[in-house]
Structure 1
Amino acid sequence: MDSYERPVEGAPVEHEIEIKRSRFITLIGRARDEAEAREFIDAARARFPDARHHCSAYLYHVDAANPVERSSDDGEPSGTAGRPMLDVLRGSGMLDIVAVVVRYFGGVKLGAGGLVHAYGGAVSETLEKVPRVTRALRELYSVDADHGVAGRLEAELRGRGYAVVDTSYGAQVTFTLALEPGGQETLDAELAALTQGAVASKAAGERWVELDRA
């Protein structure tokens, strides 16, 4: 996998529905690992301490391995909450995502089928409100330029759509650019045209980057 979508970083998205007097409050946010997922779930428990259930599901990317997936029914009948929540998250195509559904019981039992529908539906409705960003694996290339031309060169590169992910200052200014695989030849041609052949790029490994949204 060299790219995937995940929630935009920031405040979680919240959405509430009511089914037979039970309130289902869904919170969805970003979690890049187990610790962040647990922190998100714990924050939901702290915010709604008097709720009957705090059901959860999350999945996150791991390099060179299958995504990690976890879910919890938190006292609901087995398989009626966490699993349908996880199924909906999986179907969204996103990773690095965590969902908590907080339930305030309204006095009317929903039955197993009703619970599956309620928890899955709560997450599905909330997902429609979650802004996404693409995370992609990119090749890195460094470009060294004299201080006198560095500002103009960086502006020209950005104007041509290149992602400048780092800038460092020493005897020269070094830009680190993130490119799609196979993009070095085009980059060097543009650099040659901009600097009369004085500047070329050097391979600098690879990195996961978030792509600018249109």
Structure 2
Amino acid sequence: MNQNFFDPIILSLQTASVALLFVVFFGILIAKGMAGSQFKGKILVETFLLLPLVLPPTVIGLLLIILFGRNSPLGAAIEAFLGQPVMFTWPAAVIASAVVAFPLMYQSAKSGFLSVDRAAEEAARVDGAGEWLVFIYITLPLSAKALAAGVILSFARALGEFGATLMFAGNLPGKTQTIPTAIYVAFESGFMNLAWLWAAVMVLISFLMLLATRWLK
């Protein structure tokens, strides 16, 4: 098996890191809006947001293909803008990782925001602080542990994504081949030593991620 051992590791870390940026931004933004509002159909919206937690990765991959494929309006628009389809590219791996990791960040952020003492927020408002200042200086610091846990768990989930990535981004060495897909190919090809080494890297990273969440408590 002729490839650099570190390529899938580096690519996985890059993919998970970029996916995490989107997950943290949209997870916090949407969680803040959902935590502070009540509207008809809220349960349905939240159920939709958490759906990637329970859907099989192959189903997520299929939905991404339908949504971003060349035959879809969105996929055609992206291809016209970029000059190439998004499928089987590194951005596709980022999208797949972000989709499966988003619910973890959203749920952690929402739990953190709901646990904030409303009296502290109201006191800041009485002193003249606007909503964004209250959010930045009161809400975020008081929910920091929950947010940090969400970041760690989301990164670990993005790093370990396999099924949706394989279907949507493919398995191109040096381009879209992450550690999970590299392990699968190495196992199927009989390169067990290589598969075990990559598996050991995943176990070590995952262990450190989970250990970090324990330190936050």
TM-score with structure 2 setting the length: 0.24
Q: Which has the higher strand share?
A: 1
Larger Rg: 1
Structure of higher RCO (CA pairs closer than 8 Å, 6+ residues apart)? 2
TM-score with structure 1 setting the length: 0.24
Q: Which has the higher helix share?
A: 2
